[in-house]
């Protein structure tokens, strides 16, 4: 139909190597963020809606009309075990785009979890199910199924570009997205960081100060920070 915008359901996605995905999941969002050069974080407005969930997987992306979850139902069909569904809307929305029924369908396809730059509902049931969700809002406002959108096209979620097949890592610290091509290098850097952090943790537990462990005393001196017992000109106690 001439003049109408094109909408697609893209069936094929180049997914990341499962071993790389597993390594990034083990490392967690904060470590992966550092290992990736402090890149890839979604904005903090997309928050975990449970405690203790840790997921990683290849992104299946959805672009929806606000208040309309038609394309999420279309996306379920192309999901595979281990995928992470990333739902966005074409303008800001907090409507409950996914509830327990869609989550049940996603779980049946083996989806690892949901990242939704809009709202979710039935949150108590989602927690009981153990289906991990990160969302912009929890809101009971329902949706319709009437407006076209697209599945597996590039989208923007909480300020971050997400492409189909990107690696998504999510835990209590938030959500991070990496190009699949950078996954192996970041996983290696994350493993190195974890080893270094383990050694530092032992030193901190033994009482070593960060000022000494990181060699920060000369930096304080160069910055003009002075150590005094009392502020100059202060009254004596």
Measure the CA–CA gap between 169 and 99, rounded to whole angstroms: 22
Is residue 18 scored above 70 in pLDDT? yes
Is residue 3 scored above 70 in pLDDT? no
What one-character DSSP code corresponds to residue 54? -
Q: Is the residue at 146 inside a domain?
A: yes
What one-character DSSP code corresponds to residue 145? S
The model's pLDDT over 116-134, given as tens digits with 9 standing for 90+, comes to 999 999 999 999 999 999 9
pTM tops 0.75: yes
Q: Is the residue at 9 inside a domain?
A: no
The β-bridge partners of 96 are 119
Residues making up the annotated binding site for Mg(2+) are 122
Q: Is the residue at 160 inside a domain?
A: yes
Position 133 scores a pLDDT of: 98
Residues making up the annotated binding site for substrate are 99-102, 121
The model's pLDDT over 75-84, given as tens digits with 9 standing for 90+, comes to 999 999 999 9
Q: Is the residue at 98 inside a domain?
A: yes
Q: What is the CA radius of gyration of the chain?
A: 22
H helix runs in 36-160, sequence order: 70-76, 100-108, 123-129
Position 54 scores a pLDDT of: 98
Q: How many domains does the chain have?
A: 1
The model's pLDDT over 189-225, given as tens digits with 9 standing for 90+, comes to 999 999 999 999 999 999 999 999 999 999 999 999 9
The model's pLDDT over 76-108, given as tens digits with 9 standing for 90+, comes to 999 999 999 999 999 999 999 999 999 999 999
Q: Is the residue at 26 inside a domain?
A: yes
Q: Is the residue at 198 inside a domain?
A: no
Is residue 27 scored above 80 in pLDDT? yes
Is residue 232 scored above 90 in pLDDT? no
Position 233 scores a pLDDT of: 78
The β-bridge partners of 144 are 68
Its domain, for residue 121, covers: 16-188
Q: Is the residue at 234 inside a domain?
A: no
* Residue 155 belongs to domain with CATH number: 3.50.30.40
Is residue 1 scored above 50 in pLDDT? no
Q: Is the residue at 163 inside a domain?
A: yes
């Amino acid at each position: 139909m001439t003049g109408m915008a094109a909408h697609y359901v893209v069936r094929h996605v180049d997914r990341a190597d499962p071993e790389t995905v597993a390594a990034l999941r083990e490392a967690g969002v904060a470590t992966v963020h550092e290992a990736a050069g402090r890149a890839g974080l979604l904005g903090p407005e997309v928050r975990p809606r449970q405690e203790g969930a840790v997921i990683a997987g290849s992104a299946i992306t959805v672009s929806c009309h606000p208040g309309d979850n038609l394309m999420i139902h279309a996306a379920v069909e192309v999901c595979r075990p281990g995928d992470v569904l990333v739902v966005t809307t074409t303008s800001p929305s907090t409507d409950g785009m996914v509830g327990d029924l869609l989550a049940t369908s996603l779980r049946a396809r083996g989806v690892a979890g949901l990242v939704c730059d809009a709202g979710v509902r039935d949150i108590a049931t989602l927690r009981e199910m153990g289906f991990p969700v990160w969302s912009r809002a929890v809101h009971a406002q329902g949706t319709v199924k009437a407006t076209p959108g697209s599945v597996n096209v590039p989208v923007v979620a909480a300020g971050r570009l997400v492409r189909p097949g990107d690696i998504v890592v999510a835990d209590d610290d938030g959500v991070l997205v990496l190009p699949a091509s950078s996954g192996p290098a970041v996983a290696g850097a994350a493993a190195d960081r974890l080893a270094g952090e383990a050694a530092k943790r032992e030193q901190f537990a033994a009482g070593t100060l960060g000022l000494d462990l990181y060699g920060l005393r000369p930096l304080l001196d160069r910055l003009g920070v002075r150590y005094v017992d009392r502020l100059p000109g202060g009254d004596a106690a």
